Amino acid sequence: MYKFPYSMDELSALITLYLELKQNYVTSFAQVRLMDIDRCMALLSKEERISIKLYGYYNLTSRESAAILSVHHSTVIDRYNKARDKLYNMMNGQYENL
């Protein structure tokens, strides 16, 4: 179904480098990857999107993110991991168990 599946390592790198890639010229292939992330991010809950953005895109620590969200730092990590797993499944066409 998907000619170029995503690995978890690639997804983690795309999340970490998202803002930099969005601001700079990247290949068409990378642009498609970023559009896939945007499309799938829209399907996540608000809490999951925020955890990806703070902990992933903006590279804040779990404690910094937790202070912004008024939650425990382990909650940020749990939400981030859950959201990253959901993104991985969605981006690889696996919509079960979401």
Chain segment 3-58, per-residue pLDDT in tens: 567 888 888 888 888 888 888 867 887 888 888 889 999 999 999 999 999 998 89
Residue 96 lies in a domain: no
- Range of 68's domain? 8-91
Does the pLDDT of residue 92 top 90, yes or no? no
Find the CATH number of the domain harbouring 87.
Answer: 1.10.10.10
Residue 1 lies in a domain: no
Residue 98 lies in a domain: no
With helix as H, strand as E and coil as C, how does 47-69 read?
Answer: HHHHHHHHHHHCCCCHHHHHHHH
Radius of gyration for the alpha carbons in the chain, expressed in angstroms and rounded:
13
The model's pTM is 0.78
* Number of other CB atoms surrounding residue 21 within 10 Å: 17
CA distances in angstroms from 13 to 1, 22, 64, 84, listed in the order given: 23, 13, 21, 11
